[in-house]
Structure 1
């Protein structure tokens, strides 16, 4: 079945609207076939009212589709269930199983398997099989008369219901499985496109950062020297302290620009083709913790035991990625509150490093954007919004993944998953 979600997506909703319009026509055809072809005697006022309600509900769906307003999965599920119930009631008074429109139950089953989640698909399938079965358990006058005249028809119609139930089950499973495979393929393609776009942005920013650092280093150095000389001259001349403070501010901001350019150049010029160095995971983590300052290391808690698994990674690339993640966790947590790092080995010798903090967490909207270049949740001037982007790009170039889970008020966990050796299959 299709993966569970809360809303109908941009593909499912148009299909739901289109097929429900076909369902409205099928309901009208069922009444017409019963009255004209099968000689059913039923008052048409209530059927017309039910068909009108179905049409109005689908008109409302069409209106929301035109305005690109979301429709919940539950709303779609209830509407399809209502269509099945209306069709069952109409067929009961319009010839029952003798009415050719009774085959439309299968259309509702296929629709549910394609556009609804697993639970709603099975609800619609069960309801359709039950509705079709009621046409046999409480047969219409036409079916009852035919059974009286030809008793063998009774066995035939019971066989029809069993065949319909089996067919419905097979259709629901096959169509649901197909929808799930298509959705999985679409997600994989989207992930590949995102990864290619990140790699392209990384290459572009690497060139930009190196060029900017080279071209701006000389003028920034000149401004820093000139502002310092200006500050000294103003102090000797006894100029107003506020004016001297402006000169100091110029020098401080120039230094900040210089450090920012140096940091960007360092991040992007990290050699992605760095050689592989075999080691073991505990040794790698010990060397990574050394990069942190003593105050930062004091707030890191390593959950023992760390698996003594052999690894072969480019040490500087992965170490920088892990340090970026740990520093983000430290900055997200309150002062003196520790963070935790754990490790385990999964299937296919995939090593997973988990860094958890107890900070404020992130909303779903913020979590979806974290990792984009130049997007940061830190206060202005405290981050470039590049650390996590570079870390994820480095990990993915080695066949790994970097994923985040977070909940507001409950902290964040970042999981880096990497094959123990780069020549192993990529992490899925």
Structure 2
């Protein structure tokens, strides 16, 4: 093993088990937050063990304080051995990364392991202090360092468990520690064994310790939660901005494509019409006549596709927001829809007067596309059910069909731009993508549930208008 790998193992960093070529070709990935927490803790514990050795040597040799070196070195050795085990565990853990939303997560063993390690550190610190003056030793302040680490690295439950453990350990020190006379004078605090009673000085120190421990854990946990909340908000803002930029780019692309292709398509249409006119009065093979007719129909298909792309993307970007009821939104969605007799609409009484602030034309067109998809996936005799109700203070729209459904592989890709299962020329693959983009920009959510052979349900949640 090369020297660098020994260093990485010693510090708890991940060791890659790939050959150099694979490592070179692999895409870079972010390490999970828990991996960073474990790696940092390993490095901090090495620093703590080295600092303890230096402190013991300085106090014993330079200051001449009669410390029990043997027990203290044993405790430092336990710290080093436990940290070596933690480093090996940390370096061998698999990466955990949620690729879909880029939110980093931790596996089930990480929190208990780190929590137990920090509780062990509290116990080892207590043993060190018990051999070196107990609460009269000014280094008891390092309890608060451990508590800060617990509050930063661990969830609230584990952090408060560490706080309780630190208070218990500090109380134990009042009753069982090796007194050092040099410490009594400095701290003006005799051990309880010497006076056989708990003085006001003992009580005051214990109360101050408990108050500091609670305040440190509470405010550190609060600060960590606020930072995490801000990070999530920033991430959501950037995701929303990226979606908006994607929509704008899509609109620009669609408009540019429609403009650039309009002239050549128009020229082909004129030539095809002229050819059709010239051969109209002369006998030609049926195959030639069919080919000319096919050219005309395919040209019209191309024009319709470009028109839909341009209209869909443009309406998703720049329409004004207005207040509408659930009935008005569904009514607008059904406008211009074929086979409306196959659409069964139900509006819950609680949702009849519910107002939402939406781009009516763009959102209605998106919902219309979802209903069209449901009709296309169903047999001619099957109905598509559209229902509006309230759910968790939001307007919920459900579009259900009993068609062929979708297998998991197809369902996972629904909503990707330009992905469609329809025949060529019958769909652009933008309907669900644009619908989801419009709904999410409004602060809502669009989900799709489908079982192959049993149908599909599309759920749209929209925030209601304030007031």
Q: Which residue of 2 aligns with 1:341?
A: 387
C-alpha deviation, 1:208, in angstroms: 2.4
> CA 1:307/1:165 → structure 2, altered by over 3 Å: closer, same or farther?
farther
* SS of alignment partner, residue 352 of structure 1: strand
Distance 2:142 2:376 in 1: 59
Of 97, 102, 111, which residue of structure 2 is paired with 1:77? 111
Of 327, 332, 351, which residue of structure 2 is paired with 1:287? 332
RMSD value over aligned CA atoms? 4.8
C-alpha deviation, 1:267, in angstroms: 0.9
> CA 1:43/1:124 → structure 2, altered by over 3 Å: closer, same or farther?
closer
Q: Deviations over 1:336-365 (max 9, x none)?
A: 474443233876xxx6233354755869x9
Of 44, 53, 56, which residue of structure 2 is paired with 1:22? 44
C-alpha deviation, 1:220, in angstroms: 3.5
* SS of alignment partner, residue 401 of structure 1: coil
> CA 1:184/1:215 → structure 2, altered by over 3 Å: closer, same or farther?
same
C-alpha deviation, 1:39, in angstroms: 1.9
Q: Which residue of 2 aligns with 1:384?
A: 428
> CA 1:178/1:163 → structure 2, altered by over 3 Å: closer, same or farther?
same
C-alpha deviation, 1:127, in angstroms: 4.0
Q: Deviations over 1:283-306 (max 9, x none)?
A: 3323323443326x6254525223
Distance 1:189 1:208 in 2: 28
Distance 1:292 1:112 in 2: 59
* SS of alignment partner, residue 191 of structure 2: helix
Task: List 4+ stretches of structure 1 deviating above 6 A.
Answer: 65-71, 243-252, 275-278, 331-335
Q: Which residue of 1 aligns with 2:141?
A: 103
Q: Which residue of 1 aligns with 2:154?
A: 116
C-alpha deviation, 1:310, in angstroms: 5.3
Size of the aligned set, in residue pairs, is: 400
Distance 2:316 2:124 in 1: 71
Q: Which residues of 2 match residues 201-350 of structure 1 at below 5 A?
A: 201-220=246-265, 223=268, 226=272, 236-237=284-285, 256-270=301-315, 280-294=325-339, 298-305=342-349, 306-309=351-354, 314-327=359-372, 336=382, 338-344=384-390
TM-score (norm 2): 0.66
> CA 1:337/1:180 → structure 2, altered by over 3 Å: closer, same or farther?
farther
Q: Structure 1: give runs of 5+ residues left out of the alignment.
A: 1-7
- Does structure 1 retain, via aligned residues, the 8 Å contact 2:326–2:353? yes
- Does structure 1 retain, via aligned residues, the 8 Å contact 2:251–2:310? yes
> CA 1:132/1:302 → structure 2, altered by over 3 Å: closer, same or farther?
farther
C-alpha deviation, 1:197, in angstroms: 2.9
- Does structure 2 retain, via aligned residues, the 8 Å contact 1:281–1:308? yes
Q: Structure 2: give runs of 5+ residues left out of the alignment.
A: 1-29, 99-103, 182-189
- Does structure 2 retain, via aligned residues, the 8 Å contact 1:213–1:265? yes
Q: Which residue of 2 aligns with 1:402?
A: 444
* SS of alignment partner, residue 387 of structure 2: strand
Of 347, 350, 354, which residue of structure 1 is paired with 2:397? 354
C-alpha deviation, 1:123, in angstroms: 3.9
Greater gyration radius: 2
Q: Deviations over 1:388-417 (max 9, x none)?
A: 3433454566xx223134667596653342
Distance 2:171 2:336 in 1: 71
Distance 1:417 1:79 in 2: 42
Distance 1:377 1:174 in 2: 51
Q: Deviations over 1:135-184 (max 9, x none)?
A: 446x2344899322244566645554443333332222222222222222
TM-score (norm 1): 0.71
Q: Deviations over 1:96-125 (max 9, x none)?
A: 344555433333332333333344434444
Q: Which residue of 1 aligns with 2:177?
A: 140
- Does structure 2 retain, via aligned residues, the 8 Å contact 1:84–1:131? no
Q: Deviations over 1:221-248 (max 9, x none)?
A: 555774996xx99x95487xxx999988
Q: Which residue of 2 aligns with 1:200?
A: 245
> CA 1:92/1:216 → structure 2, altered by over 3 Å: closer, same or farther?
closer
C-alpha deviation, 1:262, in angstroms: 1.9
- Does structure 1 retain, via aligned residues, the 8 Å contact 2:417–2:429? yes
Q: Deviations over 1:352-389 (max 9, x none)?
A: 233354755869x977x865544x36467464342234
Distance 2:407 2:112 in 1: 35
Q: Which residue of 2 aligns with 1:90?
A: 124
* SS of alignment partner, residue 236 of structure 2: helix
* SS of alignment partner, residue 404 of structure 1: strand
* SS of alignment partner, residue 414 of structure 1: strand
C-alpha deviation, 1:54, in angstroms: 1.3
Distance 1:31 1:256 in 2: 81
Distance 1:332 1:30 in 2: 71
